[in-house]
Amino acid sequence: MRTIPYSPAKSDLYTPFQRGQYFMNNEAQEPSSLCAELSRLAYSRQASNKSIDAGQIHTVLQRIGFADRAFLESPNAAVGGIHCFIAAGPTSNPASQVAVIAFRGTDADDPTDIGTDAEAILKPWEKGGHVHSGFANALDSVATSLDAALRSINLPVLFTGHSLGAALATLAASRYRATLNNVSLYTYGSPLVGDAGFVATLKNVPTFRFRDCCDLVTRVPPEALGYRHVGLPHYIDRDGIISFDPSQSSIAEDRLAAEIEYTADYAWKAGNVRVRDLADHSPINYAWAVSAAKTTM
């Protein structure tokens, strides 16, 4: 029986920036929990447009002992595009400080994000292999400013993001792994990003890929098109419990039970997502499950 909170709400899937309530214990946690919350925080946007809500991000980071180092957006950010921020901390303990680069995921109100997700043709990647052309083009839109911002970073670096943000974090980890200090990658609800050749570019990067039960996004684009996932999954089961790389048969059994439970308990209620394949993609469901895990990942 599930004891970890779970949200089937459309608002948590399509407008995750509206929930707020970040870091309820007012502390930066171990890396997987920290990155899950910062990936969620990256969705923060201004009320009047799609630009980053730097004020809200600054306030949350300050509360957990982190400092914002940069806010980066593609041109015409108020209309749409790519958004990310760089944070460093904890400021109270210089010896254990890290830098986190968090990318915003798909914005349901941003047609440029939808277009980016749909450009699934593989193209050559500068570091090796082939990658999703839409994701690569999106990262290119902030590459110049990201290059400049990362030159001043001399800390272990955690790249992170949810959904589209996870894909961009994966590409960025590949691109900067040789020029930055101790790069790691934490992703939540990540689509597949590139082929086996691309995956090989990240073989020496510690990778923590979280997949929530029925999450449809973690299964696209299909492997039949040449795509492969980076790293083995930390799988979140229907009760919110995380296990590392369970068998495909146990995942299939768990997903079937999850879909049956969801149809009975949530799908028919107003305001809820109709299918668990989408509801499980909500950033808050990742954050709650990862924060509840007691082991360091």
pLDDT (tens digit per residue) in 196-214: 999 999 999 999 999 999 9
Contact indicator for 133, 76 with CB cutoff of 8 Å: no
Contact indicator for 158, 173 with CB cutoff of 8 Å: no
Cα 235 from Cα 246, distance rounded (Å): 7
Least confident span in 86-100, 162-176, 218-232, 274-288: 86-100
- Provide, rounded to the nearest whole percent, the portion of the chain with pLDDT above 90: 83
| Confidence (pLDDT) at 111 | 65
Helix count (H) and strand count (E) of the chain? Answer: 11, 10
| Confidence (pLDDT) at 92 | 86
Q: Which helix (H) or strand (E) holds 62?
A: helix 54-63
What's the pTM? 0.95
Select the more confidently predicted residue: 114 or 106. 106
Residue 132, phi then psi, degrees to nearest 5: -55, 120
Q: Which helix (H) or strand (E) holds 173?
A: helix 164-176
The residues spanned by each domain of the chain are: 10-292
pLDDT band at 25 (very low <50, low <70, confident <90, very high): confident
Q: Considering the domain 10-292, what is its CATH architecture?
A: 3-Layer(aba) Sandwich (3.40)
